[in-house]
Amino acid sequence: MNVTDRKQEVHDTKVLDWAKDIIERSPSDRLVVDEVLNSVRRNEIWRGDECLNLLAPEAPTSPIVRELLSSEVGTRAAEGHIGKLERWFAGTQYIDEIEALCMELLKKAFGVNYADHRLVASMIGNMAVYATLTEPGDNIMSLTQPYGGHSSNRQDGPAGVRGVNIYDVPMDAKELTVDLDAFEKVARDVRPKLVSLGASMTLFPLPVREISNIVSEWGGKVFFDGAHQLGLIGAGLFQDPLKEGADVITGSAGKTFSGPQSGIILWDDPELTESITETIFPTLAATHQVNRVAALAVSAAEFITFGEEYMKQIVANAKALAQALHDRGIPVLGDHKGYTETHQVIADVSEFGGGYPVANKLAEANIIVNKNLIPKDRPEDWDEPSGIRIGTTEATRLGMKESDMEDIAELITSILKGYQSASYVKDKVVEMRKTYHKLHYCFEK
């Protein structure tokens, strides 16, 4: 590779150079393997044992789920639909059983008529929705990034790839929900074929019913991208988009749902079944990681058993954490509405330097959150937004309760306000994690 090629590299070349150097200097490839194992181990010790992981899109998976992710079935190829005749390959009878169990458990967990288990990511599910429910040139409406809208429903994601025209869903910056009057005006003007709701920054339910009523006048459909809220939806703690008029839901299996990182798609309308199923295969999935499907089946069973109690505690913890931060003088979004109805807490940290430096400073203290755009930011402020997003899923699965949220708020505040050094707080976090190690809300191995 010459120097000009290197300049085209989008990834950070400092880190790539670190890796290249190791590979070049290593007397054998076996030693490079050790380097990979070492990096995995370093992450396991640091993030797994010593950090307070408050990233909203993460969840720790149960011991059975983790074991299944390295199972033999993960080396098998099973392109196609469930059943002997529907497969490309022979030898799939046990794989059919695994996939059928997974699909039926998903339907039971969410109380829906139809589900699909073959999405290796929720992004792929969103692509399936755009491929099924829109044509190039159609108008759609979706949320902008400062209101939590996700790239998959914007120009730079599957929606953009499908070639649809994207109009913004107007939002109310104070209420943190859709501005319905403004929505109705835009919608009547552009008559969207599809409205994509749901968001990565998500505090409160959205008016799915009202929006569905408006767009159904011209046959428009509603898609709820429930990547983050999926577990809360399944437990009946958030809104139930399908019952409120949405036509289809996608979600990440590895966010609040706490299964293996991948995607789930759910719908009730029989009319959509053939088109969605046949878009997933053969268009968007081939070998779809049957080890992951087995793990997803177990996650669904765990969810049916423990989900309600688990998700309730996640939301209770988020509310407690938001209140505790507010009480310590950290501005938290949604304070006049009880801060949050999800696993997320959004803090405006502009007075403490902004989302990027604050997230880095917290990471130095072993507290992991992410920088986040908030309504007062512009979409192009992506690198240096004003907010941070904090999630309670992992802390909850480790057994933490409301009183622990007070302790966490104290640690976060002492970093933001500079009361304590990062190394002091880091020691406290490491100490705290020693008490919280066992996973809850799952079956024993």
Ligand X SMILES: *Cc1c(COP(=O)(O)O)cnc(C)c1O
Binding piece for ligand X, criterion CB under 6 A, among 129-137, 160-168, 223-231, 379-387? 223-231
Task: Give the footprint of ligand X on residues 25-64 (CB under 6 A).
Answer: 57
Count CB neighbours of 50 within 10 A: 16
Tell me if 150 contacts ligand X by CB under 6 A. Answer: yes
Q: What is the Cα–Cα distance from 238 to 240, expressed in whole angstroms?
A: 6
Backbone angles phi, psi at 391, to 5 degrees: -120, 150
Q: What is the Cα–Cα distance from 118 to 263, expressed in whole angstroms?
A: 8
Q: What is the Cα–Cα distance from 307 to 295, expressed in whole angstroms?
A: 16
Binding piece for ligand X, criterion CB under 6 A, among 58-66, 105-113, 198-206, 403-411? 198-206
Q: Is 232 helix (H, G, I), strand (E, B) or coil?
A: helix
Among 142, 200, 258, 317, binds ligand X (CB under 6 A): 200
Nearer to ligand X, 87 or 228 (CB): 228
Among 170, 198, 231, 391, binds ligand X (CB under 6 A): 198
| Minimum distance, C-beta of residue 153 to ligand X, in the bound complex (Å) | 7
Tell me if 228 contacts ligand X by CB under 6 A. Answer: yes
| Minimum distance, C-beta of residue 410 to ligand X, in the bound complex (Å) | 29
Task: With beta carbons less than 8 A apart as the criterion, state whether 349 and 387 touch.
Answer: yes
| Minimum distance, C-beta of residue 145 to ligand X, in the bound complex (Å) | 10
Please list, in sequence order, all residues whose beta carbon lies within 8 angstroms of the beta carbon of residue 176, skipping any fewer than 6 positions away. 147, 203, 204, 333, 334, 337, 375
Nearer to ligand X, 116 or 225 (CB): 225
| Minimum distance, C-beta of residue 332 to ligand X, in the bound complex (Å) | 20
Binding piece for ligand X, criterion CB under 6 A, among 107-115, 195-203, 282-290, 429-437? 195-203
Query: What are residue 166's DSSP bridge partners?
Result: 140
Q: What is the Cα–Cα distance from 143 to 364, expressed in whole angstroms?
A: 33
Tell me if 199 contacts ligand X by CB under 6 A. Answer: yes
Give all strands of the β-sheet with 114-119 in edge-to-edge order: 114-119, 263-267, 248-252, 221-225, 194-197, 139-142, 165-168
Task: With beta carbons less than 8 A apart as the criterion, state whether 398 and 60 touch.
Answer: yes
| Minimum distance, C-beta of residue 221 to ligand X, in the bound complex (Å) | 17
Q: Is 171 helix (H, G, I), strand (E, B) or coil?
A: strand
Q: What x-and-dash track marks residues 405-444 binding ligand X by CB under 6 A?
A: ----------------------------------------
| Minimum distance, C-beta of residue 219 to ligand X, in the bound complex (Å) | 25
| Minimum distance, C-beta of residue 324 to ligand X, in the bound complex (Å) | 25
Tell me if 221 contacts ligand X by CB under 6 A. Answer: no
Q: What is the Cα–Cα distance from 268 to 394, expressed in whole angstroms?
A: 31
Binding piece for ligand X, criterion CB under 6 A, among 131-139, 166-174, 196-204, 378-386? 196-204
Residues near ligand X (CB under 6 A), total: 15
| Minimum distance, C-beta of residue 228 to ligand X, in the bound complex (Å) | 5
| Minimum distance, C-beta of residue 227 to ligand X, in the bound complex (Å) | 3
C-alpha angle 317/382/55, rounded to 5°?
25
Nearer to ligand X, 122 or 413 (CB): 122
Q: What is the Cα–Cα distance from 250 to 190, expressed in whole angstroms?
A: 24
Q: What is the Cα–Cα distance from 255 to 340, expressed in whole angstroms?
A: 17
| Minimum distance, C-beta of residue 263 to ligand X, in the bound complex (Å) | 5
DSSP annotation of 61? P
Please list, in sequence order, all residues whose beta carbon lies within 8 angstroms of the beta carbon of residue 316, skipping any fewer than 6 positions away. 401, 402
Task: Give the footprint of ligand X on residues 260-279 (CB under 6 A).
Answer: 263
Nearer to ligand X, 121 or 285 (CB): 121
Nearer to ligand X, 80 or 149 (CB): 149
| Minimum distance, C-beta of residue 152 to ligand X, in the bound complex (Å) | 5
The token pair that represents 149 in the structure block: 């809208």
Task: Give the footprint of ligand X on residues 92-131 (CB under 6 A).
Answer: 121-123, 126
Q: What is the Cα–Cα distance from 223 to 129, expressed in whole angstroms?
A: 8
Binding piece for ligand X, criterion CB under 6 A, among 215-223, 225-233, 279-287, 386-394? 225-233
H helices of 207-285, where?
A: 208-215, 230-234, 273-278
Nearer to ligand X, 80 or 263 (CB): 263
Among 62, 142, 252, 289, binds ligand X (CB under 6 A): 252
Q: What is the Cα–Cα distance from 403 to 191, expressed in whole angstroms?
A: 49
Among 92, 152, 340, 342, binds ligand X (CB under 6 A): 152
In the complex, the residues that contact ligand X under the rule CB under 6 A are 57, 121-123, 126, 150, 152, 198-200, 225, 227-228, 252, 263
